[in-house]
Amino acid sequence: MGGVMTGQKILYIFDAVDWDSRIPVALEAREQGHDVIIGLIGNADKITDTLAFDIRPLSKPSFKPHSLSPLKSVREKRALIKDIKPDIMHVVPLKYGFLAGLAAYKLGDFKKIYTLAGLGFLFRSNTKSSLALRGAVKPMLSYVLTKPCTHLIFQNSDDLKLMVRKKYAHEQRCHLILGSGVHIDRFTQESEEGDVPIVLMPTRLVREKGVSVFVEAARILKAKGVNARFQIAGGETDNPKAISRAEMLEMTKDGAVEWLGRVEDMPELLSRTSLVVYPSYYGEGIPRVLLESCAAGKAIVTTDHPGCREAVRHGENGLLVPIKDAQATASAIGELLSKPEKRRQMGVYSRERAEKEFDINIIAAQTAALYKL
């Protein structure tokens, strides 16, 4: 997709761990004639090909209580903005956009774009700590997100409506783009299922992802004599709501579920999987694991929850169940295990959705189009 040189200088800030999913947007913008500088947060050691971009390393802030790291991060980003003098600043996700927005205070009315890839703990939880934190940051966050020349990208309509209703955003400057995209060419719809079906939960080990719900659903089905292997693929994480290794070992010691740990080759694992289950109630945009499952042509059981229901249409490419409901989750799994032809047809629909709506090249083009507004 060639383009005429626009002369626009774009500062694109994101986490190094998300290089694979973010860089297509930078490539698309460069193809359109923009000058792209990447503010890369965190450890970039595993990135073997920087694609000749001008990359400026940024430290990864800690958000632990009483940490001064966010203030240092604001100063660091402010220095970078002063040096580059961008026409556009695009930051992913919300927590980094918030810091970058504060850093841009009185540095000009250049365009600012923030991708809110899920609202997470801050907005999708009503614990005492989340309520206190929301109250503390609301004035500054509202200031950052409602400034003139500011545009917000949401990955699901529920998050967009919530932020507008709570007056954190102006509706006319909100944009809906379904997820971060998936490299569909890395996944094949060709199934390598064995004699015993594999029911897989690919996830980060965070409580709100519904790990305990999946384990309980597996126990219910095993008790009924259902012949299937139930697996969890996911490694440990530093998330405040993370499930520890000891907890995972305790949860899976009865053998109802196999814990595979972190799996590097997800396309290969998904190719051997009969059904994907993701009973999340976490505040995410559109979960990447669901996009990948669609690309792999899998039927999916997930929750009727913001972000999850964007990836799965009930009865078309999977089934939606209530959050925190192990019995309903088990019933949906049992239904699809007992109907292999229905499961196969749902997998076909999943792949079609991935090709038409979730392909990372489509998402990159939709995102880069906002730079022209």
Q: Using H for helix, E for strand and C for coil, what is the string for 20-31?
A: HHHHHHHHHHHH
Q: What is the dihedral of CA 109, 22, 310, 343, to 10 degrees?
A: 170
Is the separation of the CB atoms in 336 and 316 below 8 Å? no
Which one of 118, 148, 176 terminates a domain?
Answer: 176
> Same structural domain for residues 65 and 194?
no
Does a structural domain hold residue 83? yes
Give the pLDDT of residue 5: 47
Does a structural domain hold residue 141? yes
Give the pLDDT of residue 129: 66
Does a structural domain hold residue 4? no
Which one of 116, 151, 176 terminates a domain?
Answer: 176
**CA–CA gap between residue 329 and residue 303 (Å, rounded):** 9
Does a structural domain hold residue 193? yes
Does a structural domain hold residue 112? yes
Strand partners, 14: 40
pTM: 0.91
Block means of pLDDT (10 residues each) for the chain, 373 residues, are 64 96 97 97 89 95 83 97 98 96 95 91 66 76 94 96 93 96 92 86 95 98 97 84 92 96 95 97 93 98 96 98 98 97 97 97 97 89
Does a structural domain hold residue 151? yes
Nearest by Cα to 189 from 302, 288, 267, 264: 267
Domain coverage including residue 27? 9-176
Q: How many residues does the chain have?
A: 373
Give residue for tokens 């015993």: 196
Nearest by Cα to 317 from 283, 282, 280, 357: 357
> Same structural domain for residues 219 and 279?
yes
**CA–CA gap between residue 17 and residue 237 (Å, rounded):** 13
Give the pLDDT of residue 373: 81
Residue type, 24: P
**CA–CA gap between residue 44 and residue 66 (Å, rounded):** 27
Residue type, 254: D
> Same structural domain for residues 207 and 329?
yes
Does a structural domain hold residue 98? yes
Give the pLDDT of residue 241: 79
Based on the structure, what is the number of domains in the chain?
2
Give me the CATH number covering residue 259: 3.40.50.2000
> Same structural domain for residues 32 and 59?
yes
> Same structural domain for residues 110 and 28?
yes
DSSP SS3 for 175: strand
Strand partners, 175: 153
Which one of 159, 176, 193 terminates a domain?
Answer: 176
Is the separation of the CB atoms in 152 and 163 below 8 Å? yes
